[in-house]
Chains A and B, each alone.
Chain A
Amino acid sequence: MKDLIKKLTEVYGPSGYEHSIRQIIRDEVRGYADEIRTNTLGSLIALKRGKGKGKKVMLAAHMDEIGVMVTHIDEKGFCRFASIGGLYPLTLLGGRVVFGNGTVGVIGMEEKHFERGKTPPLDQFFVDVGAKDKASCPVKVGDAAGFSRPFEDLGGRLVAKTMDDRVACAILIETLRKLRRCAHDVYFVFTVQEEMTLAGAGTSAYGINPDMALAVDVTDTGDTPESNHMAVALGGGPAIKVQDSGMVAHAGVKELMVRRAEEAKLPYQLEVLAGGTTDAMAIQMVREGIPTGCLSIPCRYIHSPSEMVDYGDVENSVKLLLAILSKSIEL
């Protein structure tokens, strides 16, 4: 799966600009799904039909990544930007971004306003594409860029930008490839706009109206020096979400996930996340409600250009999804 993760994480695809990554995922699922379509807002849905006696299950991983959108080109050709999704100022200075047209930029900061000991606000940063002036600037207002960093294989651990959430996209693709026809109709949904508005998730869930849904996303860990307490660690297995700052996972779905993990003798962790949420929050509210849980991949340095996951956790996530799908779903 490492090649697939490398391929997916290096693709351009900030929220609202998912066309490239959608095409690549479409090519990866072709031949494995019974039906592939793109819905109204641009989410990609790959359906693998079941034998007919099971449930309708929706798995959701988001295709979009965080990034920047140009808001203004100043007279000297520097680009001011708005954040796409949650950007941490501490991760920006000296970072490289790449635009849809291939232009590379460096993120700089207003020196005059920098206060020692304080994190500068986002509006004190800018992107420098090396332009001489406004007229010759190769990007314009509205252009969007994502971080630019290569994938690194550290052996047991993998590092890339956009593990959030391309590693989950890879997990979904791999699950689809390995899934033998089961009782359930399984909708593998690659959603758009999660990092900004969760617009893709809720609308996709509305259209499909599944009996159960699982969002697959990354989650924080508590295993780095002097980190805030959190009982999730890299290598501890896929994390089964109990609650995050946006929702409490459906008790029955959570318990099903735990049961299947224990039956399959897979390592797993229980996740309580203090800050952050996922597509699951939007999905569960649709229509009369959808029992929704979340399978989380432990990840260090989320929303930085270098997100790190454990490869064993990734493989075990695929195994856990297969374990859930290959048996009955009782909530």
Chain B
Amino acid sequence: MTTADGGQRSAIGAREVLLILQELSEAIGISGNEDAVRKIIADAVRDHVDELRTDTIGNLFAVKKARAAQGAKRAFKVMLAAHMDEVGLMVTGHDGNGGLRFRPVGGIDDRVLLGKVLLVGPDKVPGVIGVKPVHLLKGDEGKQVTKMDDMRIDIGALSKEEAEGLIKLGQVAAFSTRYNKVGRTATGKAFDDRAGCAVLVELLKGARFPFDLHAVFTVQEEVGLRGARVAASAVEPDCAFVLEGTICDDLPKDKDVSPTTELGKGPAISLMDRSAFADRRLVDHLIATAEKLGIPYQFKQPGIGGTDAGAITRSKAGVPTAPVSVPCRYIHSPVSRLSLDDFDNTVRLMRESLSRLTPDVLKRS
């Protein structure tokens, strides 16, 4: 396959792409504990980039320099961000029965936790979140939502002392979900944002672009866009794209309202969310590229959620930014589903748009 500049993309098989997505999905990397994910990504991109480094909050920076010496006085810098962290649970106490009290890291709906299996701590100790058996419910109890404060993770310890010996305060627990390929879709945990990370890995493994590409695999997006804020300050890009795994709410509904995105309809371009406005010049460039090459795309429902773009846009004197996302059903729950076609089209849209990206795109009309 050739890219816009006529160069030959190194032969990456579809299998390899899926492997990296699987590896990333199954790796555990809750906000503040992204080491395992960082390692997988560093190993995957090391031979394809000119610089690889980390910082003191845990971001991974990979620089892929421009393919030819540029005429411009100063290299045009484009930052691409995907976050390595996933939502999970943090152990906050040990109760008398050996159960672990916990609070969420990032946003998790109480209702997705009952009856689930977690992997707790650096040793991935299996634990379960149970609930009062249905047989014993009285009246309307079965209709009441159980709050996280009332749940416990049961690792099988029979006493507080035993539990304290196995799991320390502050250690984190992730869903135990394994990746699975089902036709042209895949299920797994943490597609928000391992899907975005996998897209970025693919872009780094391909040919160079007509500018210096600063890929940043950020940390702690889920607890406040923390890594991205620091990274944008360090990189000082001319513009940025954020690669996400985003809400796909295309289940049947009573009302004819937005599904936010739909599986199979292609990469979702954001226009506006609670954290930022996408820069219209970058959005128009993405649309023009997609239209020209017949790449399917959709718009994410405006006004929903937030991304690293919220931090990057407001960095220093401002950075024009646009988020592009792989639609993922059921994010922030134990199991998500994405379309592998959407994934491939996201890679394609980004590769083709970036190949055609010049400083002129940012000129004001």
* Chain A positions near chain B (C-beta within 8 angstroms): 15-16, 38-41, 69-72, 74-76, 80, 82-84, 123, 141-142, 193, 196-197, 199-200, 202-204, 206-207
* Contact between A71 and B256, CB atoms less than 8 A apart: no
Which residues 267-298 of B sit at the A interface, judged by CB distance below 8 A?
271-272, 275-277, 279-280
* Contact between B277 and A40, CB atoms less than 8 A apart: no
Closest 3 CB pairs of A and B: A82-B303, A72-B258, A203-B318
Residue B319 at the A interface, CB < 8 A?
yes
* Contact between B303 and A40, CB atoms less than 8 A apart: no
**Most B CB atoms within 10 A — which of A72, A84, A204?**
A72
* Contact between B318 and A38, CB atoms less than 8 A apart: no
Residues of A within 8 A of B280 (CB): 16
Residue B143 at the A interface, CB < 8 A?
no
**Most B CB atoms within 10 A — which of A15, A70, A141, A142?**
A142
A contacts with B: majority SS:
mixed
Residues of B within 8 A of A193 (CB): 277
Residues of A within 8 A of B303 (CB): 69, 71, 82-83
B299's contact among A15, A40, A141, by CB below 8 Å, is which? A141
Among B84-92, B198-206, B308-316, B347-355, the one that faces the other chain is B308-316
A149 to chain B minimum Cβ distance, whole angstroms, is 23
What is the CA–CA distance of A193 and B310 in the complex, to the nearest angstrom?
12
* Contact between B320 and A41, CB atoms less than 8 A apart: yes
* Contact between B277 and A15, CB atoms less than 8 A apart: yes
Residues of A within 8 A of B318 (CB): 39-41, 199-200, 203-204, 206-207
B contacts with A: majority SS:
loop
* Contact between B301 and A71, CB atoms less than 8 A apart: yes
The residue in chain B whose Cβ has the minimal distance to the Cβ of A199 is B314
* Contact between B304 and A203, CB atoms less than 8 A apart: no
A82's contact among B256, B272, B320, by CB below 8 Å, is which? B272
Residues of A within 8 A of B258 (CB): 71-72, 80, 141
B302's contact among A142, A202, A203, by CB below 8 Å, is which? A142
* Contact between B277 and A82, CB atoms less than 8 A apart: no
A142's contact among B299, B313, B314, B317, by CB below 8 Å, is which? B299
What is the CA–CA distance of A80 and B313 in the complex, to the nearest angstrom?
27
What is the CA–CA distance of A141 and B317 in the complex, to the nearest angstrom?
29
What is the CA–CA distance of A283 and B315 in the complex, to the nearest angstrom?
13
Digitize B340-365: 1 where CB-to-A-CB distance is under 8 Å, 0 elsewhere.
00000000000000000000000010
* Chain B positions near chain A (C-beta within 8 angstroms): 256-258, 271-272, 275-277, 279-280, 299, 301-304, 310, 313-320, 364
The residue in chain A whose Cβ has the minimal distance to the Cβ of B270 is A142
* Contact between B313 and A199, CB atoms less than 8 A apart: yes
Residues of B within 8 A of A40 (CB): 317-320
Number of A-B contacts (CB under 8 A): 79
Residues of A within 8 A of B320 (CB): 40-41
20 contacts between A and B (CB under 8 A): A16-B272, A16-B277, A39-B318, A40-B318, A41-B320, A69-B272, A75-B256, A82-B301, A123-B257, A141-B301, A142-B299, A142-B302, A196-B272, A196-B277, A199-B313, A200-B318, A203-B316, A203-B317, A204-B317, A207-B318
B365 to chain A minimum Cβ distance, whole angstroms, is 8
Residues of A within 8 A of B316 (CB): 203, 206
B5 to chain A minimum Cβ distance, whole angstroms, is 28
What is the CA–CA distance of A123 and B364 in the complex, to the nearest angstrom?
35
Residues of A within 8 A of B315 (CB): 203
What is the CA–CA distance of A273 and B192 in the complex, to the nearest angstrom?
39
What is the CA–CA distance of A203 and B315 in the complex, to the nearest angstrom?
7
Residues of B within 8 A of A203 (CB): 314-318
**Most B CB atoms within 10 A — which of A39, A40, A75, A206?**
A40
What is the CA–CA distance of A84 and B276 in the complex, to the nearest angstrom?
11
Residues of A within 8 A of B276 (CB): 197, 199
B47 to chain A minimum Cβ distance, whole angstroms, is 35
B362 to chain A minimum Cβ distance, whole angstroms, is 9
The residue in chain A whose Cβ has the minimal distance to the Cβ of B280 is A16
* Contact between A142 and B271, CB atoms less than 8 A apart: yes
* Contact between A69 and B302, CB atoms less than 8 A apart: yes
A207's contact among B271, B275, B317, by CB below 8 Å, is which? B317
- Assuming the contacts A15-B277, A16-B272, A39-B318, asked whether A82 and B310 have C-beta atoms less than 8 A apart, the reply is no
B268 to chain A minimum Cβ distance, whole angstroms, is 11
A141 to chain B minimum Cβ distance, whole angstroms, is 5
What is the CA–CA distance of A51 and B313 in the complex, to the nearest angstrom?
35
The residue in chain A whose Cβ has the minimal distance to the Cβ of B273 is A82
**Most B CB atoms within 10 A — which of A39, A75, A82, A84?**
A82
The residue in chain B whose Cβ has the minimal distance to the Cβ of A193 is B277
* Contact between B299 and A41, CB atoms less than 8 A apart: no
What is the CA–CA distance of A203 and B272 in the complex, to the nearest angstrom?
18
B130 to chain A minimum Cβ distance, whole angstroms, is 35
Residues of B within 8 A of A204 (CB): 317-318
Residues of B within 8 A of A197 (CB): 275-277, 310, 313-314
Residues of A within 8 A of B271 (CB): 69, 141-142
- Assuming the contacts A82-B304, A142-B299, asked whether A41 and B257 have C-beta atoms less than 8 A apart, the reply is no
What is the CA–CA distance of A163 and B320 in the complex, to the nearest angstrom?
28
* Contact between B272 and A80, CB atoms less than 8 A apart: no
B236 to chain A minimum Cβ distance, whole angstroms, is 11
